[in-house]
Structures are given as structure tokens and as C-alpha cells.
Structure 1
């Protein structure tokens, strides 16, 4: 879509296609992330579709993208950045910084008897799950980094043993949220029925860690809970109906 990408332009483009395909009076809901332009476009779209008799008068029209919300919640927690995460990030940047270093790390992998195909992953700021994948891959190659530290005097960002322990704890804490993100992002199966089971799991995990977790995990969980509760009340009741219609859960789960 050419710019501008403001709310009015998005509305006009969406409405054009809905009308062209003659489905403007058959749209029940639309899933969007939390960009402010989307809120504007949805407001205009509901008003326009109501003229055609929108289903339920558009009451359940705007569904917020659950995967995006999970991303925002975990990103909030990761603002409580542990120094060990920064060290892993810098270590991966270091070994990928030149061809000679890449060759050296491959030799260390071989000497550590690990599988080189798993590979080291660099995270990106906008995708929290890339941070989880980065930590998971780094923990797998822990012995490799320690071996490199002995061989390369210029490599100064290898985490210490207590920091590796912290990384393993953080990774274990984030694992359920990674699984939830993967489940919400599925393309070959319905996902709306997964919202309540996944969110319940996440909420229980956060409350447990805030109450009983190690201090640095507790700090992360506390930040995440504040963000979580902000979005929890903003979700659409239609997602409760989706889980009721799932034979695995039915009404008992919602109760």
C-alpha cells in the first residue's frame, strides 16, 4: 500500500476491497495490532459498515492481535535487562564480526562436541521472541563460548558461571511465552480458541513468579503483570465464545 499509512487512508483501502468483493455486509471482525492509525481506520470502517447492517452492530468488530500484545508484555519485562543478556548479545556480535572469528567459533564448537547446525542467533529489538531464541542458542553453546574465552584474549564479554545460571533461569521463565507466541501465530489451524487457555497459563506463571521467583525474575514478572493487566480488560468477549465452542474446553473452562 503506498503512503500515507494514516487511519483515513487505511480505511479507504479496506473499504474499497470489501465493497469490490461484495462482502461489506458479511464482516464480523478484523484483527489488527495496536497502532493508533488502526484505531482510527476501524472507527470509520464500523460507521460505514453499520450503514450496511454490520453484524452485532460492530460490537465485536475490532480484535486486537494477541501475538502483538504478548510481544508488548514481554518487551516490558525485558526492559529490566540483566547484564548477562547484554553480555550474550555482545558475544554473538563479536563472533559474527569477522570471517576469522566465525571460523574460530566453529573450531571451538567442534572441540566442544556440539552440533554446529543449531547456530547462534542475534536478536532484534522489535521481536521479543528473537531474544528468547538468542538466549536458547547461546546456552546450548555455553562450553563453546568458555572455550573461546581461553583461546582469544580479545573476547571479553563471555558470561561468568553465575551469569550462565541466571540466563538459564530467564530462558526457562520466558519459554511458556515463546510457546504462546508460536501458538497464536499459527497459519494452518484456528487460533481464536487458544486465547483463554494461553492467557490463563501466562497469568498464572506471572503471578507465581512475582510471589515466589528469584529476585531478578520477580522484577521482570512484576513489570510484565502491570502491562498484562492493562490489556486483559481490553480484550473482546467474543474470544470467550470461541473457547466455549472448542470441544476440548467448553463452558467449564471459562467458568
Structure 2
């Protein structure tokens, strides 16, 4: 089957994740989220404020997606939604901050997460497998 030189079978989990996270319709919105997260990563004041406004026992950080990490877009968007009410209030108080998310953009993110959730579950399960399956 793989007798030709340099032939390989790509990882199914990786292919599944790329298919899900490389959505052309969502790219502008994903970029907007990334820009907001970058602002919080680069602004000590914004990051400190984000920690300060959260409940002490449940302090979370924003997650940036990484091109080398499978499912990272899903995790980034999921965490962004969890922290959005805090993020929005901080952004509103800083004129140098990126544009705030609209209600319709937040709804799009929620819908996209619902689409990605089962894919993330399958991808997570497959990437954790220690066995190679042969399907005829």
C-alpha cells in the first residue's frame, strides 16, 4: 500500500481539526478575537484588570490559538466567551483597546463552538490513541 517512497497517511485527528478550524467564514471573526487577546497579552494594565475583576477562586486567562496545536481555535473561542463580560468592560474603558465584539459576533462564536464541540471531542479521543488502526 505505501511502497512508494515518501508516502504517508496523515493523522486523522490533525486533518479533522484543520477542517474545522480553517473555516473561511469565521476567519475575520477569529482574527478579531486574536487581536483582542493580543491586546490583553501585551497590556499589563489590561491583564491585571482582567485578573482583578474575576472571582478570586476562578481566575482564568485568555488563550491564544497556536497553529501547531490542534483544537486551539476551539479552546481560544471557548475561553474568550467565558471571559467576554470582563473583557468587554475593560475594552470599553481604554481608548487604545481593540474594537468590542457585537452581540451578533458573540452569537456567531457561540454557534461555531457548538459546531466544533463534537469535532474537538473526536479529535481529542483520536489524538490520544496509542494504537494504529487499519481499516479495510
What TM-score do the two structures reach when normalised by structure 2? 0.81
> Contact 2:50–2:86 at 8 Å: present in 1 too?
yes
Q: Residue 159 in 1 paired to residue 101 in 2?
A: yes
The 2-side partners of 1:164 and 1:150 are apart by 16
The 1-side partners of 2:39 and 2:68 are apart by 21
Q: Residue 168 in 1 paired to residue 110 in 2?
A: yes
> Contact 1:114–1:141 at 8 Å: present in 2 too?
no
Higher relative helix content: 1
> Contact 2:35–2:98 at 8 Å: present in 1 too?
no
| Alignment CA distance shift 1:41-1:82 (3 Å) | closer
What is the match of residue 19 of structure 2? Answer: 73
Displacement of 1:159 after TM fit? Answer: 0.7
Displacement of 1:136 after TM fit? Answer: 0.4
The partner residue of 1:90 within 35, 53, 68 is 35
The partner residue of 1:182 within 124, 130, 136 is 124
> Contact 1:109–1:115 at 8 Å: present in 2 too?
yes
Q: Which runs of 5+ in 2 are unaligned?
A: none
> Contact 1:71–1:127 at 8 Å: present in 2 too?
no
The partner residue of 1:140 within 82, 95, 103 is 82
**1:5-84 paired onto structure 2 within 5 Å:** 40-42=5-7, 63-76=9-22, 78-84=23-29
Describe the superposition over 1:48-88 as per-residue Cα deviations: whole angstroms up to 9, x where unpaired: xxxxxxxxxxxxxx644211221332244x23334332221
The 1-side partners of 2:80 and 2:57 are apart by 12
What is the match of residue 129 of structure 1? Answer: 71
> Contact 1:84–1:159 at 8 Å: present in 2 too?
no
> Contact 1:87–1:158 at 8 Å: present in 2 too?
no
What is the match of residue 54 of structure 2? Answer: 109
> Contact 1:123–1:133 at 8 Å: present in 2 too?
yes
What is the match of residue 50 of structure 1? Answer: none
The 2-side partners of 1:135 and 1:85 are apart by 8
Give the greater-gyration-radius structure (CA).
Answer: 1
Displacement of 1:89 after TM fit? Answer: 0.8
The 1-side partners of 2:41 and 2:11 are apart by 34
> Contact 1:95–1:102 at 8 Å: present in 2 too?
yes
What TM-score do the two structures reach when normalised by structure 1? 0.46
